[in-house]
Amino acid sequence: MLKEIGGIFVFLLVIVIFGNIWFHFIESILQKIKKIIHRHEKPPVWHPLPKEDTQQDEKDA
């Protein structure tokens, strides 16, 4: 009885692990395709928080 329960548990575990690997595998392929398609587009403009302010906040903390 315990062996059967253990077998079912291992079987489900294998399915979950394989499902996760499959999901990340497909996602990585789709990401690479998206990068190739959008390679000529300019990345969105980004304004970083001024460093002085960040350092001052860290000192205050």
Of residues 12, 19, 31, 34, which one binds other proteins by CB under 8 A? 19
Q: With contacts defined by CB under 8 A, how many residues of the chain interact with other proteins?
A: 16
Q: Is 44 one of the binding residues for other proteins (CB under 8 A)?
A: yes
Sign of the alpha-carbon torsion through 16, 17, 18, 23: positive
For 33-37, the CB contacts below 8 A with 24+ separation are: none
Q: Is 47 one of the binding residues for other proteins (CB under 8 A)?
A: yes
Q: Is 32 helix (H, G, I), strand (E, B) or coil?
A: helix
Footprint on this chain of other proteins (rule: CB under 8 A): 19, 22-23, 26, 44-50, 53-54, 57, 60-61
